Structure 1
Amino acid sequence: MSTAGIHYYFWMNSDWAYLGADRLEAIARKQGVPIHYKPVDLPQVYARTGGVLLGQRSPERQAYRITELQRWCRKLGTPINPTPRFMCPDATLASTVVIAINQAGLPVLELYKAILRAQWCEERNIADPAVLARIMQSQHLDADYWFEQAPHMQQRYQAYTDEAIAAGVFGSPSYVYQGELFWGQDRLDMLDEAIHMHPAPA
């Protein structure tokens, strides 16, 4: 992980990653640093770092998550449904598609936002290849071609997950800049300050 820039570890089911997406991009543009997009298998991250999946958390913790989401949605002017119909399905295909497209040097911001928006705002099942294909087509991407590439990205998906854990990541979204970890979209201002204080090498 020696490459300069922001190493962005996120789950393709992460409501918080959706809320932070545009602000992360704005920080990177302002500071002139690249973002390295690295989808991870968050259930595996949890299993290896002591995390607890949402459905297994206490009612108090689940209720507070909804309260916090509602606060941030108001603050950011970005509405989402905290309990969508298809909540946190298998994100493997979505993740490996995003990795394949990113590895090809194509932009992935609008695609991964569209996938997250489909889950959290549009009541769509992102584990369904037909749903993913429609999302990709809306982004002018050849779904059949990228579905063929996706299985070849499984090793990289696992490598990103391993790398995230090695960097201290235990939740999504997480941002690592010059070895410093920032967990959660509510830490983006602190990430911005860290980049300002320690600019990346030219």
Structure 2
Amino acid sequence: MTHHIDYFFSTLSPYVYLAGTRLEQIAARHGATITYKPLDIVALFPRTGGASPADRHPARMEYRAQELMRQSKKLGLTFHLKPAHWPTNAAPSSYAIIAAQMAGGGDMGALVHAITRAVWAEEEDIAEDTVLKACLTEAGFDPGLTESGLLAGAETYAANLEEGAARGVFGSPFYILGEDQRFWGQDRLEDLDATLAGRL
């Protein structure tokens, strides 16, 4: 049986950066396929009972800060808690991912990680075309993808939001295995791995 994972995420999410390429490693180990579904997390939060970081209680944000620093140290990843260009417009980077997935030929996991690393480790603005071209090139894709398929990208980006909300997605990263096995957060990748292995 071939397993499939729908991967819903925001390119602005620090937790997507912390996930690195572990999802891809897990999928490869179990012969699973992945569909990448970037979405507008800011639009998703109010529809699913959540709040954007700017609207959260200080206690929640203080805990978030501590947890992000702990997790980044544990994973050995360079991390800036308040990067220079966050938040920024997530649409261009999301369109680039959608275009790359349609075009094929490169490494999708490497692309998502390059884009999120640009935000949280390198403090670059992922709304800038030059930054996205560099990420596409690094992951083996045509950098010209930033200039094509914008309409299709916008339509898919909007459709991903609607699909995510309908399927119970409320945060990022969010993994749906098969029809309805849901896993929220990079700290649940171990559970996804165990489920694919038949241990959960």
Structure-1-length-normalised TM-score: 0.90
Gaps of 5+ in 1: none
* Structure 1 partner of 2:134: 134
Change (3 A) 1:145 1:37: closer
CA contact (8 A) 1:101 1:146 kept: no
Q: Secondary structure at the match of 1:172?
A: coil
Structure 1 position 167, deviation (Å): 1.1
Change (3 A) 1:30 1:139: closer
Q: Secondary structure at the match of 2:175?
A: strand
Whether 1:191 and 2:186 are equivalent positions in the alignment is no
Where in structure 2 are the equivalents of 1:152-163 lying within 5 Å?
152-163=152-163
Q: Secondary structure at the match of 1:74?
A: helix
Per-residue Cα deviation, 1:133-158 (whole angstroms, up to 9, x for no partner):
33334445433343222332211111
Where in structure 2 are the equivalents of 1:1-202 lying within 5 Å?
4-106=3-105, 107-178=107-178, 179-197=180-198
Structure-2-length-normalised TM-score: 0.91
Percent pairwise identity? 37
Aligned amino acid, residue 118 of structure 2 = A
Change (3 A) 1:22 1:135: closer
CA RMSD of aligned residues (A): 1.9
